[in-house]
Amino acid sequence: MKREAGKFARIVIPTPLKEPLIYKVPDPLWEQIGAGMRVLVPLGKRKVTGVVLELLRETVVPGTRSILAPLDERPILDTALLQLSQWVAPYYLTTLGVVFGTILPPSLRSETQRTIALKPGMFSVCDALEKRILDRLRQSKGKLTVKKLTREMYGGDLHGAIERLESIGAVEIRERLPGHRTRIEQTFLKAGSAASLEAQPRFILNSEQEQAFLKIEDRLKEGGFETFLLHGVTGSGKTEVYLRAMEQARRAGRGSLILIPEISLTPQLIDRVNARFPGRVGILHSALSAAERWTQWWHIVRGNVDVVVGARSAVFAPLTNLGLIIVDEEHDPSYKQEEGLRYNGRDVAVMRGKLSACPVILGSATPAIESYQNALDGRYRLLEMTQRVQRRPLPFIETVDLRSKFNRSQQPNGGRVPLQTDSPQVQQSGEHRLISDRLSVFLRKNYHASRQSLIFLNRRGFSNFLQCVLCGHVLRCSYCSVTLTLHRRQKNVCCHHCNFRRAATALCPECGNLTLSGVGVGTEQIEEALHRLVPAARIARMDRDTTSKRGAHEELIRSWEKGEIDILVGTQMITKGHDVTGVTLVGALLADLSLNLPDFRSGERTFQLLSQVAGRSGRGDEPGTVIIQTYAPDHYAIQHLIHHDYKGFFAAEIEFRRALNYPPFSRLVCLRLESPKFEEVEKKARMLGATLHDKTIHNARLREKIEILGPAPAPIEKLRNRYRWQLLLKGKQSSSLLDLAKQACEALPRSRSVRLHIDVDPYNML
């Protein structure tokens, strides 16, 4: 290949293009651009935004086109973040274009406009460039775009000069988002609400907190990468340890990043961070509007914040002096992105810490099995907090056995109700079993003692599905192979996967009678049952149906905190991180719902969910009680839960994983084929299976190392009108696994109708 010497740059365009492209760098731009800056480049007939990955002095690519203009004066992504993206892309078998599409907020993928404006007053400057800038501004009514200035004055440190002028108050830099008329004010970073700033105590660390903090502090002072697994029971005061570590990072002049599962569910944590770092907190999450996200991003790039709080995607926040990364509730499934770039925010956080040479704290009361094994293997350093703060006891947990032979007094009270109306009837029969006598007694007692109760059921809606009492027909989604859930208040039936919905009627589409009847319960029905049980109580429900409006989550949680709600019923949303001292009773209904999922993590997931929800109880002066209603009281997940015994659970779970060679003893890659055509997806999946089997048979190295499971239809075989088949690759080494997965991409001929999705370290395999 012919090498051409010159000035070139490798540029990523944040769209799913295959590889970064090489562009020529015009001489005058060579000094101005650098890795991590955005540039305008031609692509076909369009002009698009790209990010410079590196500058090159030669290329073998013939006929490169030229960069049109720089879009930044300094990098918006630092070296560690660029390196991180170059680790993420091959690890998750995707392109850099896809990764950059995830890292950059949409608005940053196009050009933003930055203007400099003179401020009133006279300023004398000595630096020639600064003087030229001021003169030039005066000539143009005190305002100019940075772009124009750059074009007129290249050479010299233009950006540095502008910054110095800004720091002495001579000019103001304004950023404008294209398509938005109003300027986004710098005052966006409110210093937290007044309420959140007052009365945020600064505790004296107890000895376990102190021990944990000292080890982290040592690492922060010494510098360098290390991952800590902070295993602290619910209410052990992990947040306080995080805050101290963040303060230590700031003392060293470095920023911290704290990831939390769902930002709107934990306003308390944001309050605490705001109180410690008033006006210096950036927030990133998917519910921000484009303009808000853009503003937050620029504040972070400019170093206006000491701390960034965010959900999963904030792992890519553009902090340039990162000194600490924290992943709170590191076991939470929401760290796994299930579409587009299918990454795990926790794992990426650890890699980012490594590349940024800074410590990472993974915190949880119920660490992921993989994480705990990493700690036992010495890859992570284990820090333990076994006691709640102020020696508060962990709640007392008991089970109620739902199996009727143990529970005769709670037999259903009769069969289905005769039908007269045209709306679906609901079996009244199950109600006594929904809320056991034992739980009912506790609920009433707790209410009369003016304390708060939490009722957890991991299923929303009113009835799980509708079935015809005459012909047995079950109402299903037209687009997915799942049943439709009855939402009685909204008077519709709805698919929880694709959101297809239609009016609820009793008319059976199969036999034509008005005989549809609801089976199974969801949170909506529990809410009604609770009203009957404790009529005077203030009852609220929290699930995706009640909190779809922006800000609704937060409002609900705030009034729960203030004690304005006596009983809160909800899905897994209510299990996360709240610290409300009035809660002394937690009831978990149908606690084994998550045990019955066809997933090797179902035991782990159940243990985590129930431990988390139990952990909401007894966080104040009064001790807490937890009642777990279950069909499987003897299951090891439930047994260890009752005894607050994470280690016992881990010991049992790890044996199960070892026996079946599941993670952490192996790694998984899920290859999922999807097509609107049933025959085609099956044919292609079988073909792909045969090809991969072939490849492993003829390659001794792969044969020993990789197991191919399937192809088989996915547990949810049809989703959003697409049929789905999958193959699971299981192996010890990610390198050979990724190799084989890559070969799968190549083996599957490009086709319009069948798509292959690759999920590395999959979490959800339904």
Q: Using the rule CB under 6 A, which residue among 32, 115, 227, 234 binds ligand ADP?
A: 234
Q: Shortest gap between Cβ of 117 and Zn ion (angstroms)?
A: 53
Which of helix, strand or coil describes residue 330?
coil
Using rule CB under 6 A, residue 633 touches ligand ADP = no
Give whichever of 49 and 234 is closer to ligand ADP, judged by the CB atom. 234
Contact 507, 422 (CB under 8 A): yes
Given the rule CB under 6 A, which of 228-236, 247-255, 286-294, 506-514 is the region that contacts ligand ADP? 228-236
Position 550: which residue type?
Answer: R
Rounded CA separation 338/335 (Å): 9
The residues with which 540 forms a beta bridge, in sequence order, are 568
Please, which residues have CB within 8 angstroms of residue 1's CB and are 6 or more apart in sequence?
Answer: 60
Count of other CB atoms within 10 angstroms of residue 58: 10
Give whichever of 163 and 622 is closer to ligand ADP, judged by the CB atom. 622
Which of helix, strand or coil describes residue 672?
strand
Q: Shortest gap between Cβ of 463 and Zn ion (angstroms)?
A: 17
CB hemisphere CA count around 582 (13 angstroms): 18
Give whichever of 238 and 254 is closer to ligand ADP, judged by the CB atom. 238
Using rule CB under 6 A, residue 232 touches ligand ADP = yes
List the single partner that 480 binds among Zn ion, ligand ADP, none, CB under 5 to 8 Å by kind: Zn ion
Rounded CA separation 258/323 (Å): 11
Q: Shortest gap between Cβ of 548 and Zn ion (angstroms)?
A: 17
Give whichever of 311 and 351 is closer to ligand ADP, judged by the CB atom. 311
For 385, the enclosing helix (H) or strand (E) is strand 381-385
Q: Using the rule CB under 6 A, which residue among 14, 20, 105, 237 binds ligand ADP?
A: 237
Which of helix, strand or coil describes residue 509?
coil
List the single partner that 737 binds among Zn ion, ligand ADP, none, CB under 5 to 8 Å by kind: none
Give whichever of 502 and 562 is closer to Zn ion, judged by the CB atom. 502
Which of helix, strand or coil describes residue 333?
helix
Using rule CB under 6 A, residue 236 touches ligand ADP = yes
Using rule CB under 6 A, residue 206 touches ligand ADP = yes
Tokens of 533: 């049980």
Using rule CB under 5 A, residue 494 touches Zn ion = no
Using rule CB under 6 A, residue 395 touches ligand ADP = no
Given the rule CB under 6 A, which of 232-240, 348-356, 622-630, 634-642 is the region that contacts ligand ADP? 232-240
Rounded CA separation 502/720 (Å): 16
Given the rule CB under 5 A, which of 144-152, 163-171, 471-479, 577-585 is the region that contacts Zn ion? 471-479
Tokens of 337: 């992105």
Q: Using the rule CB under 6 A, which residue among 50, 75, 235, 345 binds ligand ADP?
A: 235
Give whichever of 234 and 546 is closer to ligand ADP, judged by the CB atom. 234
Q: Shortest gap between Cβ of 619 and ligand ADP (angstroms)?
A: 6
Which of helix, strand or coil describes residue 703?
helix
Restricted to residues 118-137, the positions that interact with ligand ADP (CB under 6 A) are: none
Given the rule CB under 6 A, which of 9-17, 199-207, 308-316, 562-570 is the region that contacts ligand ADP? 199-207
Please, which residues have CB within 8 angstroms of residue 647's CB and are 6 or more apart in sequence?
Answer: none
Using rule CB under 5 A, residue 480 touches Zn ion = yes
Using rule CB under 6 A, residue 197 touches ligand ADP = no
Strand pairing report for 227-232 and 381-385: parallel
Using rule CB under 6 A, residue 209 touches ligand ADP = yes
Dihedral of alpha carbons 246, 247, 248, 253, sign: positive
Q: Shortest gap between Cβ of 493 and Zn ion (angstroms)?
A: 11
List the single partner that 726 binds among Zn ion, ligand ADP, none, CB under 5 to 8 Å by kind: none
Q: How far apart are the first and last CA of the chain?
A: 47
Count of other CB atoms within 10 angstroms of residue 729: 26
Using rule CB under 5 A, residue 716 touches Zn ion = no
Q: Give the long-range contacts of residues 21-28, CB within 8 A, separation 24 or more.
A: 21/50, 22/56, 22/59, 22/61, 22/64, 23/50, 23/64, 23/65, 23/66, 23/67, 24/64, 24/65, 24/66, 24/67, 25/55, 25/66, 25/67, 26/66, 26/67, 28/154
List the single partner that 678 binds among ligand ADP, Zn ion, none, CB under 5 to 8 Å by kind: none
The residues with which 503 forms a beta bridge, in sequence order, are 492
Q: Shortest gap between Cβ of 206 and ligand ADP (angstroms)?
A: 5
Given the rule CB under 6 A, which of 33-41, 130-138, 227-235, 600-608 is the region that contacts ligand ADP? 227-235
The residues with which 468 forms a beta bridge, in sequence order, are 516
Using rule CB under 6 A, residue 689 touches ligand ADP = no
Give whichever of 207 and 420 is closer to ligand ADP, judged by the CB atom. 207
Using rule CB under 6 A, residue 366 touches ligand ADP = no
C-alpha Rg value of the chain to the nearest Å: 29
List the single partner that 236 binds among Zn ion, ligand ADP, none, CB under 5 to 8 Å by kind: ligand ADP
Q: Shortest gap between Cβ of 253 and ligand ADP (angstroms)?
A: 26
Using rule CB under 5 A, residue 492 touches Zn ion = no
Please, which residues have CB within 8 angstroms of residue 47's CB and are 6 or more apart in sequence?
Answer: 40, 41, 68
Q: Shortest gap between Cβ of 505 and ligand ADP (angstroms)?
A: 46
Count of other CB atoms within 10 angstroms of residue 380: 22
Give whichever of 410 and 575 is closer to ligand ADP, judged by the CB atom. 575
Give whichever of 341 and 495 is closer to Zn ion, judged by the CB atom. 495
Q: Using the rule CB under 5 A, which residue among 30, 123, 500, 600 binds Zn ion?
A: 500
Rounded CA separation 309/691 (Å): 45
Site residues, ligand ADP (CB under 6 A): 203-206, 209, 232, 234-240, 389-390, 579
Site residues, Zn ion (CB under 5 A): 477, 479-480, 495, 497-498, 500
